[in-house]
Every structure is written in structure tokens, then in C-alpha cells.
Structure 1
């Protein structure tokens, strides 16, 4: 708890206060390198951990051990499926590269924006699939919500991955937090200029960081937290708002069949995301 509070107070909070993020632009490259390094490390270590059965003690309780090591390609639990869907939304919505990329594409044509969006999503799918499959095949039923914690503490390679990701999170959070604070002030109708605006910006940043630190201290189940965030904010950012924008701006420009397919697909997925949020919220409340 002390480490979380210390990092939030001494690193994340000061870096999130300025509105200019030019000094942190190189962190985006570090984030991509961290994802690549993690995928490579997980894929390379998967055979060794799988052969050792993830460090599972097969002699303590053979039946329970066999059940934990059983390979399951599908979980029939609807709540787990909804949580996985929510985490996927969060994964594709929260990226430190989003802000600088959006800024660079401000004057780009539609084709360039389409290509960047398509290629980036395809690359994300590849790397997330490698990490997801590698992590699950290494530990199977023993996989923790933060699967990096499954690796041994004396594993030097994964220790380096943890260190790099720690730096990425600490320096990458301000890249998303500072624009988010400005957006919140804009939605509230506050002025974006002057001393009062700077004070409001600092207040919003402080409230968000304190809230995040409290959640991190209170709840160690990272998948539950990400699932709730992904199904709420992720559904809005990735599905609901794009559906509304598409309906008002692009619906009439596309053939009717394609337009209806795109719009109703986004709308149904958004409804599924909100249903996932309600399901996870009820489970968390009663759990």
C-alpha cells in the first residue's frame, strides 16, 4: 500500500498536472516495446512452464491437481464470458499511443485513418493472442488474474518485464490522464483557459489519482476492476459513442445493408457491454 501511494504521489500526480505532454512522447515507444518484450518472453517460457505444469504439486492432491491442470478451451459460465468481453473492450480502448496518434491524424484523410485503425487492431490481436495463449498454457487452471504474478520470483526475464511495465504504467498514466481531465472539464462546461482552469485541471487529476490509488489498495483482483471499467467506459468509448456518431454522420453515405449492419452491430455490442457491467457489478456487490 505504501508503494502504491508513494508512486502515485511522487511520480504519477506531478507528471499528470501539466497539459503539455511533449516531454512524455517517447513513453509511447516504450509501451510498444514492453508489449513486444512481454509477448516474446511469455511465448518462450510457455514450453518450460507447461512441462513443469506451472509448478503444480501433483502429489499433494492428485485429483484437484489434475482438475486444475485440465486444458479448457471454453468456459461455459456466462459471467466469465461477459468479463472476458469487458476486458477485451478495455484492452482495445486504453492505450498510451491513442492520444499522440489521434493528434497526428487530425488532418489525415479517411483512408489513412481507416488503415491506421485496422492495422493497429490487427497487431493488438496478434500480440494479445500470444500473451493470452502463452500465459494460459503455462499455468492453465492456476492462472491468476494478473498472470505475470504466476511466474517465479527468481525468473530474471519476467522480473525485467515487470520492471519495464512498472515504468510504462507510471509514465504512461499521465498521457491518458491529462487529456482525460481536460475532457471532463470540457463536458462540465468549464473554461479551458486561465488560472481557474489550471486549478480545476489539478483538482480533477488529483481526484482521479486518489480514487485509483484507493481502488488499487482496496481490491487486488485486477481482472474484476478492468472488467468493470471496460464494460462501462470501454463500452461507451468503443461501441456506444461510435454507433451514435456513425448514425449521424456516415449512415447515409454507405449502402443501406452495410449501414444497418455496422450500426446494429455496434448497438448490440454496446448493449452486451452494459449488460456485462450490470452482471459484474451485481457479482462484485454480493461477493
Structure 2
């Protein structure tokens, strides 16, 4: 948010930066869907409530979704306002390594991942235990399966350095079925409500929409992946274009070097 004001005005804007819903917008639907997916944790979280009731669960879900949506919209808006068409799949790749404030943000994000990963690992292990071992794991298998899950996830993360393609594929292959297709299909199959019922109409709309997002999103993610810097700093981080010499909460200095213009901005 701070960098929208301190850095945004000095990043060149791309052409058609404010054109809404370009042809590859369907890829963003998958990414946004993945950001809100929580179905795989629902049963475990519900059972962990001190007094699990539908009313309490509904209140928790609605509050969590609203807060998550606010944070996602805020970060996405601030990121795009700052970098427009230069925005990367991983927003942190847009910031220079000398940016102390963003480095602290990366640290906070890393802490978030460390705290979130055990829950995801727990769900994966629970599914494996229920499907292949009848829900019961010995101490040895408990450790072995946990190590295998962590090892596979770590290897994949080390081999792939572009977060954008990971979010897109997870969105279209995992989030779209879990959010749009499977719940709608189950409701249409099990519900005894008449066909004209509002929930059935919504399910009939969401199911094909999810299928479209899944199929076309996958094709576009493969044929038209998001830009990725592969760990390289953006052009405005280099002296020939921009040099971020000291960036912190209290002091920001940006030197723009152009053939006929040399500007120093202090805030």
C-alpha cells in the first residue's frame, strides 16, 4: 500500500493498462478461485469447534471469506496500480531486492506459509489415511507419509520458480472442480427441491461455468502462461533505468536516469 504512493508514480504505465477483461481473464478466475478454496479443510475445522453448530460455522465462514476477499482485493489493486502491465504472477518479483519494506513483507509471507503448510499437510495425510489405510495410521506410517508429502512438495517448489503458473494450474485443476463443479453436481443429484428452486438454478449455472473455467483455463495456462522474471530483477531496478538506493518506511529515494533527465525524489 505504501509503495503505491512512493513508487507507483515513477513506474512507466503500459499501453491499455486499464482495459478490463482481456481474453486471458479466464486464467485470473482460476487464480481467484484458488485463493478462496477451503473445502478440503471444512470438515476438519468444523469438527475442531468447541460447540460445532451450523449457525456458528456459517458465521465463521462468512466472516473469514469477507476478510479474505478484502485483503485479496486490497493487495491486488495496490499491486496493479503500482506496476500495471508489468505486474508479475508473484507480486513480490516486481519489487527490487534493495527494498527493505518489501523484504520485511517477504519475511511475513514466509511466516504465513510456514504456519499454513502444516494444516495442508495434515489434510493430505488424513485423506491418504482414510482412502488407503481405513483411517488408522501406525506411528511408523504416520512419520513416513508425512516425510513423503513434505519431500514431494519441497522438490516441486525447488524445481519451479514461477508462482503464477502454479496458481493458475491449481486454480483450474483443483479449485474449479472443488468450488463450482463437484458441489453443484452433488446438490443436483441429492437435492429433492423442484427444478425451479433458486439453489438448483444457481447450481445449473455454476456447474457448466466451472467446466468452462477448468477446460479453457488449463489450455490458456499452458499456451499463454503469465510473465515470469525467473528470479531476475525488473528493469527499473537497474541503474540504467531506475536505482532504488534506500527504501524504508521513513525514507525513500528514487533516482531516475534518462538521457536528458536526472531526477531525485525524496520522501
TM-score where L is the length of structure 2: 0.72
User: Does residue 112 of structure 1 match 2:53?
Assistant: no
Determine the C-alpha separation between the residues in 1 that align with 2:220 and 2:102: 31
1:71 to 11, 14, 17: 17
User: Does residue 85 of structure 1 match 2:63?
Assistant: no
Determine the C-alpha separation between the residues in 1 that align with 2:205 and 2:83: 35
Q: Greater helix percent: which structure?
A: 1
User: Residue 197 of structure 2: SS of its match in structure 1?
Assistant: helix
TM-score where L is the length of structure 1: 0.67
**CA RMSD, 1 decimal:** 3.1
Larger mean CA deviation between 211-220 and 228-237 belongs to 211-220
Larger relative contact order, structure 1 or 2 (CA cutoff 8 Å, min sep 6): 1
1:38-57 → structure 2 map (5 Å cutoff): 43-53=1-11, 56=12
Q: Greater strand percent: which structure?
A: 2
Residue 241 of structure 1 deviates from its aligned partner by 2.7
Residue 186 of structure 1 deviates from its aligned partner by 1.2
- Quote the residue 1:273 is aligned against: 213
Against the structure 1 CA distance between its residues 130 and 142, is the aligned structure 2 distance closer, same or farther, given a 3 Å change threshold? same
Figure out how many residues of one structure are paired with residues of the other and give that number: 226
Determine the C-alpha separation between the residues in 1 that align with 2:121 and 2:18: 38
Q: Which runs of 5+ in 1 are unaligned?
A: 1-42, 57-65
Residue 243 of structure 1 deviates from its aligned partner by 1.8
Residue 228 of structure 1 deviates from its aligned partner by 0.6
Whether contact under 8 Å (1:243, 1:266) holds in the other structure is yes
2:184 to 222, 231, 243: 243
Residue 162 of structure 1 deviates from its aligned partner by 0.8
Determine the C-alpha separation between the residues in 1 that align with 2:200 and 2:62: 20
CA-to-partner distance for each residue in 1:147-184, whole Å, 9 max, x for gaps? 11212323222211111111221232011111221112
Residue 282 of structure 1 deviates from its aligned partner by 4.2
Whether contact under 8 Å (1:69, 1:140) holds in the other structure is no
Residue 232 of structure 1 deviates from its aligned partner by 1.2
Determine the C-alpha separation between the residues in 1 that align with 2:195 and 2:30: 31
Residue 280 of structure 1 deviates from its aligned partner by 4.2
- Quote the residue 1:257 is aligned against: 197
- Quote the residue 1:121 is aligned against: 65
Residue 253 of structure 1 deviates from its aligned partner by 5.1
- Quote the residue 2:257 is aligned against: none
Residue 233 of structure 1 deviates from its aligned partner by 1.6
CA-to-partner distance for each residue in 1:214-244, whole Å, 9 max, x for gaps? 3222222211111111211212322233223
Q: Which runs of 5+ in 2 are unaligned?
A: 226-267
Residue 98 of structure 1 deviates from its aligned partner by 5.8
Whether contact under 8 Å (2:187, 2:203) holds in the other structure is yes
User: Residue 256 of structure 1: SS of its match in structure 2?
Assistant: coil
User: Residue 154 of structure 1: SS of its match in structure 2?
Assistant: coil
CA-to-partner distance for each residue in 1:110-166, whole Å, 9 max, x for gaps? 333333323322222211111001001101122121111212323222211111111
CA-to-partner distance for each residue in 1:235-263, whole Å, 9 max, x for gaps? 232223322342355x3258833132222
